[in-house]
Amino acid sequence: MLYLAIKAAISGILIAAASEVAKRYPGFGALIASLPLVSVLGMMWLWRDKPDAANMAAHAEATFWYVLPSLPMFLLIPAMLRHGVPFWLALALGCAVTVLLYVATTWLAPRIGLRL
């Protein structure tokens, strides 16, 4: 249980740090947020729990393919905000589009030979 709490605390601190930096320096905060910190931490925790090279390789590759459908959200939200859409609605719509793209990726991947 302590291990889980430590993992959660470290992960949470990184997210909080990115948002605090972004308050003063939006570009630098975005840079921190764009780093694959969650993915790297996830791989570190996974490796500690299950040091299996084949499993890690599959995880890292699947992560790459799941990043792609999340990218349009980062263009859609600012476009909506610039056109007067309220923040919470823009965020919800951006997340909804991302979920739809994840579903499409999960459906399409095996049909083109990707194992996710």
pLDDT in tens, 70-108: 999 999 999 999 999 999 999 999 999 999 999 999 999
Please check the confidence at residue 38 and state whether its pLDDT lies above 90.
no
16, containing H or E segment: helix 2-24
- Cβ-contact 22, 33 below 8 angstroms: yes
- Using DSSP, state whether 86 is helix, strand or coil: coil
**Whole-Å CA distances, 101 to 7, 11, 66, 88:** 29, 26, 9, 20
Residue 70, C-beta contacts closer than 8 angstroms, at least 6 positions apart:
98, 101, 102
* Stretch among 12-21, 31-40, 65-74, 82-91 having the lowest mean pLDDT: 31-40
Report if pTM > 0.95.
Answer: no
Boundaries of every domain in the chain: 1-51, 53-116
